Amino acid sequence: MTRDRILDGVTVVDLSTFVTGGFCSLMLANQGADVIKVERPGTGDDIRGSGPPFVDGESPYYWTVNYDKRSIELDLKTEGGMAALYDLAAEADVFLQNFRPGVDERLGVAYGDVAELNPEVVYCSISAFGETGPWRQRPGYDLLVQGLSGIMSVTGEPDGPPVKLGLPGTDLITGMWAAFGIVGALYRRQLTGEGDYLELGMLDATLPWLTKQAGKVFAGEEPGRMGTKDPVLAPYQTFETADGHLNVACLNGKLWRALCDAIGAPELADDDRFGSNADRVEHMDELEAEIEARLAERPTDEWLDVLVEAGVPAGKVQSVAEALSNEQTDARGVVRDLEDPETGRSVPAIEHPLNFRRAESGFRRTPPRLGEHTREVLAEVGYDDDSIDELAAAGAFGEPDAGATDD
């Protein structure tokens, strides 16, 4: 019988913090996995305090990578906390962590520790540089990996300094690779009955995204910063209009001629400097000047109407607020509110883009409050109320009686 959601019945024990592991388990939760977020008592995942801004004491950044998860507080420095974690691991399908190599062994949560309890587990270890190589013990964060991966060397204006992406790109890339690997390992387990050990580093995860740039290196060239221009296509960039900016993407001669006609410059299509895409790439600065001189005469929205009518791929450079709410995203229900029936709080969520015909997907619950599901989760693996009270008194959830909640 087909399940409502593709990962219904899959349980993920997630010890990760911040974005790499958080976005990975978020993707799994979106497809139905039960993600149990194991957090430090009292403070929880560091991303909870990441900000400002805060909304009613919570970080919206935390929201964006923690919808549909359940939170349990466990002090892994206590005997009771470790025992409870092992009980969760024994029942899990997936065990996820993003410690620096060696920390998992010191804590007693390495693959060998977990697989001894649960041989069929899919164990995923995320780190900055992976578990081998001379950099394995280095700390690593998105900023560092953006620099080391070459991304910053090709981001920014030609005469300017290297520029960081305006979002945590390498964190998100790594999380997506991890989710892809976990689903692949679960599929293989379905066929063979065997669990698996998956490890990946942020730097390794980022390098395959250097497609055009790596291609230039493979051809013996050195890619550099080009602003919004493209190394192999023209015009394919941002242009300034009378009141803003407009992106134009012409991938072939037909679109190039349509653009020339639409902006009232049909003679450009017959200019020898711009005859082929290769010609346009070679004379990119001259091309930009010719196009921008025309586009600067009218506001963005007017040009957008003209170009869309002419069939030229074009789009406004929107603010984040405009991107989250416009006629297209509103029609698709991309951003919606999740409601907490117990507290009445409403939290906005950006839905994930996978829309299946024969399976449900999407977020169902608000991000968990710290320790919100401690008692609930432990009860599901066999703890009765007295046992949970004993763990609380022994400090397994932090300061006695401060961690577990009755929610």
Measured distance CA(30)–CA(24) in Å, rounded:
10
DSSP category for residue 368: P
- β-sheet with 94-97: strand ranges across: 69-73, 34-39, 11-14, 94-97, 122-127, 196-201
Encoding tokens for residue 289? 């000047």
Residue pair 397/101 in contact by the 8 Å Cβ criterion: no
- Other C-beta atoms closer than 10 Å to the C-beta of 276 total 11
DSSP category for residue 4: S
Cα dist. 323→254, 329, 333, 334 in Å? 29, 8, 13, 10
Residue pair 172/23 in contact by the 8 Å Cβ criterion: yes
Measured distance CA(336)–CA(351) in Å, rounded:
7
DSSP category for residue 72: E
Task: Indicate which residues carry an active-site annotation.
Answer: 171
Query: Before 235, cis peptide (omega within 30)?
Result: yes
Encoding tokens for residue 212? 């055009």
